[in-house]
Amino acid sequence: MSASPPPSVPLCDLKTQYEQLRPEIEAAILRVLASGQVILGPEVAAFEREVAAYCCSTHALGCGSGTDALWLALQGLGIGAGDEVILPPFTFFATVSSIVRVGATPIFADIDPLTYNIDPRHVEDQITTRTKAIMPVHLYGQCADMEPLWALAERHQLALIEDAAQAIGAEYRGKRAGSLGAVGCFSCYPSKNLGAYGEAGFVTTDNADWAARMASLRVHGMEPKYYHKYIGWNARLDALHAAMLRVKLTHLERWTAARQAAAQRYDGLLEAHGLAEAVQRPFVCSDRRHVFNQYVLRVTADRRDPLVSHLKQNGIGCEVYYPVPLHLQECIAHLGYKPGAFPASEEAAKSVIALPMFPEITEAQQARVIETCAQLFGRQGRRAA
């Protein structure tokens, strides 16, 4: 009889987390259903208070997705046609699509190749009289370098809009993501560190006027009901999602510690298998708290796609975040950017690979992931000293 294949390792394991939270999640669902208030209402208001406190912000507004959060931020700040917004080319598409959808023009600035976040040294060259905001992305769970961006924003009277979709709980010099700019934008997509069981998101701000405007925009611009002050849209957060997110929020710090411990184990396993020279591990800045929404390696471009195929063939979840930088996406070719415009972003797109990362990942699962990587690189594992 042939031996059974080893169990697969998913990129993200929502099932195990749900089983651990089942009584709390089901109680929250039943509470909402019994209340009959399933759109906004007290459950959403409670989540907003709790997540605002967690993010060290005065206001939080729940919305339908991380994309909604970005739209709300831009429209809440009055950014639109004729305005320019500076962003990195190496991020998820929603960052740029939100800018285009409000009628503004996206202007790219290249990334720091170590952190993958926007490089402030490239931002100032892109500022014009039409620039209204800078949108740094806290990619993979580590905050962008904010101090030089604060200086640029103050000097040129610009808004800083944090795309913190992957970075709830991340910190820059002791300050939480979501409190580092005019507005913070978060995704609660299921794979995020604070993930719903479906689409959800929220924005944070300390400005009461902006918060009120965004609250109106998410309900078709009504203020009061059936009187439309703005052209808004339906960006409401469902009460069921809010109730489940409230449960998860109480576990978030524990999960963050588990992700950080898993990242350290990956680091050690790469060393033990002789792969430390073959791959670039995540670079963690000393003045930041990395929350590891993803654990992302860099390999040489000729090895990345073979490694993706090898891992998947062996039942190991992996993903490339992101294979095509934004400035080379077909739908925004009219902006006129060409290959070679942003070399750090283009090189990252050819060489990054995310390994399985979730709070419940076991040491055995991680060992299998790195052993499978080592097979491709042709290196013998060795015991850690």
Q: What is the pLDDT of residues 209-249, one digit of tens each?
A: 999 999 999 999 998 889 999 999 999 999 999 999 999 99
Is 281:297 a contact under the CB 8 Å cutoff?
Answer: yes
The predicted model gives 170-181 an average pLDDT of: 98
For residue 207, which of 335, 102, 57, 321 has the smallest C-alpha distance? 57
Confidence of residue 4 (pLDDT cuts 50, 70, 90): low
Give backbone dihedrals phi and psi of 287, rounded to 5 degrees, phi first: -100, 15
Q: Which domains does the chain have, with CATH numbers?
A: 14-110+117-249 (3.40.640.10), 253-377 (3.90.1150.10)
- pLDDT (0 to 100) of residue 383: 39
Q: Is the pLDDT of residue 384 over 70?
A: no
User: Over the chain, what is the mean pLDDT?
Assistant: 95
pTM, to two decimals: 0.95
* Percent of the chain's residues with pLDDT above 70: 97
User: Shortest CA distance to 366 belongs to which of 265, 261, 255?
Assistant: 265
Task: Compute the average pLDDT of residues 64-86.
Answer: 97
Taking only the tens place, the pLDDT of each residue in 284-323 is 999 999 999 999 999 999 999 999 999 999 999 999 999 9
* C-alpha to C-alpha distance for 303 and 281, rounded to whole angstroms: 15
Q: How confident is the model at residue 274 (pLDDT cuts 50, 70, 90)?
A: very high
What integer pLDDT is reported at residue 3 of this predicted model? 58
Question: In 10 A of CB 39, how many CB atoms?
Answer: 13
Alpha carbon distance 275, 288 (integer Å)? 25
Model confidence at 205: pLDDT above 50: yes
pLDDT at 382 over 90: no
